[in-house]
Structure 1
């Protein structure tokens, strides 16, 4: 029979309990670490693969346009804590592979400078990998002075390889959507 310590607790059982408690603590700390790391890792995964409608960033223009046309619609949403109005460009219809430039128009209607940033998405999601931005206001934070109105350009193309994917033959329209937020660096 196991010897009891003067406190009435079996020393072997106490060691096992301590090991289980330590293992549980390490697991909990590890889960918190994974939770914090998951958001940037997921964003990186989406940017690399185009998963979830994340457009690609292009370093070069496409090789050339093809005959198939695509309509691109533009959408904008502004978070409640950002004192901006943002008007999207009108839709365009153009040949796949042709480089296009459109402007969103943003106005700061507050009495102070405000720095904002935009998060983007493409619908339908499966077209995201084929939507390539060469230049975009969304690559950096934007600061608007009180009452200032600015054109915010996007230079983009739809990759002609979309036409090679037979599963995407039915896609005739792509929507590029931006949600604008106050920058985390606002006021610093």
Structure 2
């Protein structure tokens, strides 16, 4: 009768399980790091959650319908920066528009900030096209410095083809400023 080494077989099985668990944990950590950029890409492609679209140039045409675009900002309580949003713009849909946010460092030390954004109502995110923006770019403000931060955008005239958007007359572009 042959003797089977069950202890050796058990150690090999335990090692396989341990390696498998380490691989699962590594994959989970990797997915956690990838989740934010993947979600950001998903939102930019679909306009989900009021995420705007990126554009290289302006719309091909404008339409007679006008839309008000209101600009807002919120600054984290621990960030010593004052933000003045751009004034509300009312223009024809499709027109390329540049507005400016103003940021002031309220301290005698350099401050680093980054801004995230969204559009409300969220259904308009797919039609709000930013050509140039300061969002997701780290801004370093020198002590007591005030800077102008431009946003170049247009509203896609295709929004007029969506009957669900007929009643919308105002959009808000909202930036949240965080310490970087």
Question: What TM-score, normalized to structure 2?
Answer: 0.87
4+ aligned runs moved over 6 Å, structure 1 = none
- Residues in 2 aligned to 1:30 and 1:159: alpha-carbon distance in whole angstroms: 39
Q: Determine the structure 2 residue equivalent to 1:94.
A: 91
Q: Which residue of 1 aligns with 2:38?
A: 41
- Please show how residues 96-135 of structure 1 align to structure 2 within 5 Å: 96-135=93-132
Q: Give the length in aligned residue pairs.
A: 180
Shift in Å, 1:3: 5.3
What is the rounded CA distance, in whole Å, between the counterparts of 1:51 and 1:97 in structure 2? 21
Show the 5 A alignment for 1:20-99. 20-99=17-96
1:154 matches 2:154: no
- Is contact 1:116–1:141 with CA below 8 Å preserved after alignment? yes
TM-superposition CA deviations, 1:37-80 (whole Å, max 9, x none): 11112112222332221111211111121111212111101123
Q: Any unmatched runs of 5+ in structure 1?
A: 184-188
RMSD: 2.2
Alignment TM-score, normalising by the size of structure 1: 0.84
Q: Are 1:171 and 2:171 an aligned pair?
A: no
Check 1:125–1:2 CA distance in 2 against 1; reply closer, same or farther (3 A cut).
Answer: farther
